[in-house]
Amino acid sequence: MSATGVAGNGWFMTTGTAGYRIEDNEGQVVLSLLGPWSATGLGHVSRSLTEELGGRGVSRLDLSGLERFDTAGALALLQAAKVTTDASAWEANPQAGSIYRTVARLEDMTMPPPTRPPAVIRGFSKVGRGVYDFVTEMMGSFAFLGRLILASASALKHPKRIRWAAWVSQMERAGLDAIPIVAVTNFFIGAVVAFIGVDLLTQFGAGVFSVQLIGVAVFREFAVVITAVLLAGRSASSFAAEIGSMKMNQEVDAMQVMGVDPFQALVIPRLAALLIMLPLLTFVAMMGGLLGGILVSWSQLNLGPAFFFQRLLEDGYMAKHMMVGLVKAPVFALVVAAIGCRQGMAVAGDVESLGYRVTAAVVQAIFAIILLDAVFALIFIELGI
């Protein structure tokens, strides 16, 4: 198809498509619609008409050359030029006028796109959402803690209702299966501490005191903290994923319908399993860390295992540090298990919520471990332990 008009003379027409003619009589703009103003014949007429009008208003319409007119044509005309909706302007083609008025009314009802607020407002909005999420999370945690205390009291009051099989199963999965990774990780932690201690203390001629450094670091801090962090990544995420998937599949709701308390069936066994197994895993971690320290001391300072243990057990000093590490273990176990189960119980009905809650369980558990370890350090310093 070829254009039969000349650009810039107020006349545009392409064979078989919509066209127009503009006449400007002393400021009175007359717009003539030509051809089919329909979805199949519009082309680029709306953009061309907008450029030709240049912001001028249309005073009168000439519809004598209009063939077809539908909602697409009305929208193109509306976007190019605001034309009056009076019936007198469309009396030559009342049907086209009705279509144009309908499209104009719907266009007026359309909401404008939302404006982007200033950066300062967006910053305050983020802070507000963060505070709201934090308060909501705290309230949910306190509600979970209350139900957990009631369920624990009920289990102690009615020991025959305790699901011992679930306890043993969770102890195996959360405790025994974690022994290899806990032992190996703490072995390398002990070796690293020994390398640093030997290298540093040898410079001052006090390499023999690296034994005490290894013992204090492993017994008091590294064994229990590294073990708790490993279980936060291993067990807390597992608890959140298992309980969360049951929530998604409405298995928890089905348990409540059958009269089974989800806390007794799902939360208490996992809590008890970690409470029993984390002190044992901490002891395994202590032995693994000591083994790494012994090998490094033996290879670097020629301090044999017999001399290493002799220095370690002098005056019962290390027994106190071992007890400090073991005292922390049950508290860390309660925190890790409670956070994992709480996040699992908070899962909604979609996979996105499950992923968010599993991630939150790991992050919150690790944060709580580090925070509690700092609190324990302050308490033991005040007590002189």
pLDDT, tens only, 35-65:
787 777 777 777 777 777 776 777 777 777 7
Please give the Cα distance from 88 to 319 (Å, whole number): 102
Please give the Cα distance from 140 to 132 (Å, whole number): 12
Closest CA to 343 of 322, 317, 364: 364
Q: What is the mean pLDDT of residues 296-318?
A: 78
Q: Return the CA Rg of the chain.
A: 39
Q: What is the mean pLDDT of residues 353-365?
A: 90
Q: What percent of the chain stands above pLDDT 70?
A: 91
Instruction: Name the residue with tokens 């009175």.
Output: 28
pLDDT-derived band of residue 230, with 50, 70 and 90 as boundaries? Answer: very high
Q: Write down the pLDDT at residue 337.
A: 92
Kindly tell me if the per-residue pLDDT of 340 is higher than 80: yes
Please give the Cα distance from 254 to 247 (Å, whole number): 10
Q: Write down the pLDDT at residue 335.
A: 93
| Mean pLDDT over the full length of the chain | 82
pLDDT-derived band of residue 224, with 50, 70 and 90 as boundaries? Answer: very high
Q: Write down the pLDDT at residue 2.
A: 28
Q: Write down the pLDDT at residue 161.
A: 78
pLDDT-derived band of residue 209, with 50, 70 and 90 as boundaries? Answer: confident
Q: Where are the alpha helices (DSSP H) in 17-160?
A: 45-53, 71-80, 94-109, 119-157
Please give the Cα distance from 282 to 128 (Å, whole number): 41
Locate 105 and state its tokens: 């009314």
Q: Write down the pLDDT at residue 3.
A: 32
Please give the Cα distance from 237 to 163 (Å, whole number): 22
Q: Which residues have CB under 8 Å from 209's CB, separation 6+?
A: 201
**Range from 233-237, 290-294, 302-306, 369-373 that averages highest in pLDDT:** 369-373
Closest CA to 105 of 78, 66, 69: 78
Kindly tell me if the per-residue pLDDT of 13 is higher than 70: no
Please give the Cα distance from 94 to 245 (Å, whole number): 62
Please give the Cα distance from 282 to 227 (Å, whole number): 6
Q: Write down the pLDDT at residue 173.
A: 87
Q: Write down the pLDDT at residue 9.
A: 45
**Window from 85-99, 141-155, 243-257, 323-337 with minimum mean pLDDT:** 85-99
Kindly tell me if the per-residue pLDDT of 284 is higher than 90: yes
Residue 92 CB-half CA count within 13 A: 12
Residue 111's φ and ψ, nearest 5 degrees, are -70, 140
Please give the Cα distance from 215 to 206 (Å, whole number): 16
Q: What is the mean pLDDT of residues 341-353?
A: 86
**Window from 79-88, 148-157, 237-246, 281-290 with minimum mean pLDDT:** 79-88
Q: By three-state DSSP, how is residue 3 classified?
A: strand
* Amino acid at residue number 260: V
Residue 33's φ and ψ, nearest 5 degrees, are -95, 130
Kindly tell me if the per-residue pLDDT of 280 is higher than 50: yes
DSSP state, 264? I
Mode of pairing for the β-strands spanning 60-62 and 28-37:
parallel
**Range from 69-78, 97-106, 242-251, 324-333 that averages highest in pLDDT:** 324-333
Please give the Cα distance from 134 to 100 (Å, whole number): 52
**Residue 23 pairs with which residues in a beta bridge?**
30
Q: By three-state DSSP, how is residue 78 classified?
A: helix
Q: What is the mean pLDDT of residues 309-320?
A: 76
Domains of the chain: 11-109 (3.30.750), 147-383 (no CATH)
